Structure 1
């Protein structure tokens, strides 16, 4: 038994780190200034031992440091600070930790120092062990972080926007600006205290699901990509404000997952209201345009066309009442040609008025539906204008809502009016289709086409093309025009609602 105990003790002694080995390892570390200070009877201090980094700080050989007082070998600022803290360590008998930064020829340096009192057998304190570490780089990074945070706060306070860091793990705000202007009426500390309850407490109930879906998607957001979401948020005054947030990944955890997201929240309430007012004004102008067209069409039909008919009758009476003349005479021939020319002009004028009146006052879509309104209008236009018109309408168009139906029909109306005015076409195709992601209306003719300068001039000369684009833009769609010497095509598209299936191919 004793042999076993002796063997275990021997192995423990062999594996235990000796104090001398620890001492050598600590003194040999290149990033630590390690030194032993002897406390002299008069209360002064000198270096009893030190490692090479201490000599480098003192800028002298190590043997000139050992045995010297701190004030004799160190920069005065460093020596005074060290001796003051050594005195406190000796006086209290407690360890001390302090940091100090000073300006050196190579720049500003920062150190963190630990002083450990060492006494033997409870006698007076004779030695203090010091370990000093250069923390300049750490303090520089901390200063940069503080300055960056101050800059972000200043930017946030100088604008009505809120800049924030959102923690995807806790679902709370880690940092936010706006403590001075408080655009929502809440102090940033109040927002932070809400934690993961911030979204259900402040976001409008109808927008909570949208915001939560947006937040869930941020976890998979690639670096450098911006995600945007609009929502209504509760102001302290009890009213909801419209906001638009843009988010980008700020930092990731050790596993590479998004951890913090940087966001900028912009109050878009006033902008949304102005845009709505502009849309309402634009819609009113378009409505006035339609009403004015109907009035002009009625005038053309009821007044101008009747005047032309009366002129034709008057011409016939004039011819009947002319004195008799030799049918073979030159005078009779000239009179006959003049009559034929006038009658042809009257016929063309009445035909033009008939077409224009129809274009300006088309069938009422509200009573016909989009499918029948487009078909009847296009075919009626062809009959009056003397054009060959083909109409192709896909299945499901009867499910298109009123706003989209009216907008597409007005585009069809304007496009056919442009064909009549400019194209010199003989054939027109009108196609209304429900595609995979869009509802499209295409009007294509075989006319003379156009060049880009002609299109630009047409876009600036009236509200026809601008009106079409305004209608489509309001619905999230677009208008595309293409053309060459073989004709022109105009295609208007709007997003397809989920409840409407694509037309069968």
Structure 2
């Protein structure tokens, strides 16, 4: 079909047709504003949509002033913008949100275009106002959701990233971090596919590249987990655990972007290793303690029992006729007395060792009475005179600290019994200048400081281990006049570490009862 034939088939669009279509739009208000000589504004013409905004029929709107047809706030806004449009002679647009009578909010977007002629002032302005309430709500919701995602991303302790499998580059989209870590992330993003060579541990680089092939084969919703050692901002390699899943695909269905969450687990690994090391040390100390008790039973208690057995065997070997002789009878009584003495000594040692291994349940009121009851009970069984001095401030010691102090006192009194050859021992628990002091002092034979670990065996390392866990220390001094053990714990550190476990010592704490019963 030629252009000439086309021109003859269709008549040109008339202005009346154009005007009718525009003003007949059900989606927006179309109106013509006449500018009066006095600077006022009147509606020259309008479509039906304006009736919804004005709340009046068109017959009352045409020829009426703007301020007489619209609510005051809408009329003022339209009048001000009409004035700007007339003064500048240029089109303008503005957005307006109003509150409806039912409390909801309505949003309108208005465009004003002045009719500019070759001469004379502007006499007409054509306006279009469209209801954009729904679009505004969608935009506000999208902005709100985006802000929430950014806030959530910054609040997470982990790094959130997108891995592009086509370019092998990474983009961080969230995760908390200071400006130093933000700079590190920016450099990692700029490195692109070279980031693996620059930041991954050399041993992990081949595994990282092979992992990209696995990610390309992921199904939607499937999660892949892998860990790498990555060079941190501190200049050390730290282990990160990564969880990754498909985020988007290309038009051909291939995986394009992978969403990942990376978490630094180096500190977690360190804590786990410390727990394993501590468990190993405690198990070693327990085994050594059992070995020491076995040696005590064998070397000391066992010898007493052996002596008693030999004495009784000698008595049994005497002939019956010889017993009738008074001299022989006196010798028999001496043998029996030796056996009885050996058995009594063995019995006393067994009672002491049993008390150390499993003290009776102490239903006392906290650490003060637990220490006093244990020390006095120990003294009676070991044949020692025990003096106990406990400061009133000791009632402020928290439960966890009390358990460790009780164990240290228990071990210290054990060493007094085994090594000191003492007759008296003094136990003091005080709180001075923010420091807890547990002192155990005896009047025994003392020892050489350099040989303390050898003489006191596994007990001293155990005590030092307990105090070190609470930020404290154990010091032991010895001289010919006796031995003194002092355990120190800063109370400030304990408040910070154990305030959540602290119990009023006006009643028996479960932890302390457990400590005094094992």
What TM-score range do you get, normalising by the shorter chain?
0.3 to 0.5
**TM-score for both structures, normalised by structure 1:** 0.48
Q: Which has the higher contact order (CA 8 A, sep 6+)?
A: 2
TM-score by length of 2: 0.47
